[in-house]
Amino acid sequence: MAEREDDVKLLGFWASPFSRRVEMALKLKGVPYEYLEQDLMNKSPLLLELNPVYKKVPVLVHKGKVLLESHLILEYIDQTWTNNPILPRDPYEKAMAFFWAKVIDEQVAIRFASLVKAEKGIEVVIEEAREVIMFLEKEVTGKDFFGCKTIGFLDMVAGSMIPFCLARGWEGMGIDMISEEKFPELNRWIKKLNEIEINNPILPQDPYEKAMAFFWAKFVDEQVGPGGFRSVVKAEKGIDVAIEEARELITFLEKEVTGKDFFGGKTIGFLDMVAGSMIPFCLSRAWEGMGIDMIPEEKFPELNRWIKKLKEIEIVRECIPHKEKQIEHMMKVAERYKSA
Ligand SMILES: N[C@@H](CCC(=O)N[C@@H](CS)C(=O)NCC(=O)O)C(=O)O
């Protein structure tokens, strides 16, 4: 199969939780891919050639390399495209995520098969299935997602298997397997999963929010950015007045990010990139070089919280300029502003 360097192909089946979870990961990472729907009743020569061992989907082909088994494919995707991490970095948590993923795919799914057979009677089988699902209820208690604050590996495995596959089967059989009263936490998690827009948008989809993101981006780049920095450097009305004026502008951003993880909501987006590259990772260095604590924690708790969250993201950290070098550079810029 001839492959271009950036080629990503996914052989999948529309109703397969194993292939849907791989699509979730590719979409979350923003990786373009070609989807090749497979007829599992009449397997294509391509599927048989790529997965001769199991003859199953999903199969991911990247740069000519063939990847099999959904858990391994998810891990490969996470390591290849490092934005929006899906697996925990901590080795113990990572091992546990793989453990629970195996429970879901083996135990919960097998219980579905025994439900259909119901050799011990339907009520017994339902109770047995619920006992296994109860482990997951406990595992997600008090967390937004299995992966904690954002959707991750286990959410993709459990999500594709339970609410978006088995639950349809249970419903068809007239069984309310994971009722709200018995599994409040799992139901809360399913609602959160449904709210996620997994198309990795940087800009808001809503036209009003999109216009507002552009408005604030312009504000950051023009008012707070070079313009604001120039006024602090020149300090024509005195440095204290210049600092206060800059803080007044920054207060608008403090309000804008209040109560949100990021300017873009739950995940990093356009305005986080604009404001992040300009404020903490550029201007703050210049302010620091001038001995000014422009955005102290007491005055700007929300912006400080947001900066911490930004720094937790690997791709953001990779783009932060070297601190000392940047302070030096910004001091040269300040000199230019002064003498202009
Ligand atoms: N352990 C595999 C399971 C994959 C699997 O069971 N795929 C099913 C689709 S839901 C399949 O291709 N079945 C075809 C067959 O068994 O002949 C994974 O995680 O990728």
Considering the domain architecture, whether residues 158 and 102 belong to the same structural domain is answered as yes
Is residue 201 domain-resident?
Answer: no
Q: Which residue has the tokens 């495209």?
A: 81
Spacing, Cα 156 to ligand 1 middle (Å): 16
Is residue 86 domain-resident?
Answer: no
pLDDT category, 65, cuts 50, 70, 90? very high
Q: What is the mean pLDDT of the chain?
A: 89
Enclosing domain of residue 271 = 207-339
pLDDT tens readout for residues 177-218: 999 999 999 999 999 998 876 555 677 777 888 889 889 988
Spacing, Cα 104 to ligand 1 middle (Å): 14
* HSE-up (13 A, CA, CB side) for residue 148: 9
Per DSSP, the residues of 67-134 read EESHHHHHHHHHHHS-SS--S-SSHHHHHHHHHHHHIIIIIIHHHHHHHHH-TT-HHHHHHHHHHHHH
Is residue 2 domain-resident?
Answer: no
Q: Which atom of ligand 1 is nearest to the CA of 38?
A: 12
Ligand 1 site residues, Cβ closer than 6 angstroms = 13, 16, 18, 40, 55-58, 69-71
Spacing, Cα 189 to ligand 1 middle (Å): 25
Considering the domain architecture, whether residues 13 and 99 belong to the same structural domain is answered as no
- Output the residue whose Cα is nearest ligand 1's atom 10: 16
Spacing, Cα 155 to ligand 1 middle (Å): 19
Considering the domain architecture, whether residues 104 and 70 belong to the same structural domain is answered as no
Q: Which atom of ligand 1 is nearest to the CA of 69?
A: 20
Domain end point (choices 29, 52, 80): 80
Q: Who's near 300: CB < 8 A, 6+ residues apart?
A: 250, 251, 254
Give the residue, 257 or 149, on which the prediction is more confident. Answer: 257
pTM score over 0.75: no
Q: Which atom of ligand 1 is nearest to the CA of 16?
A: 10
Considering the domain architecture, whether residues 138 and 173 belong to the same structural domain is answered as yes
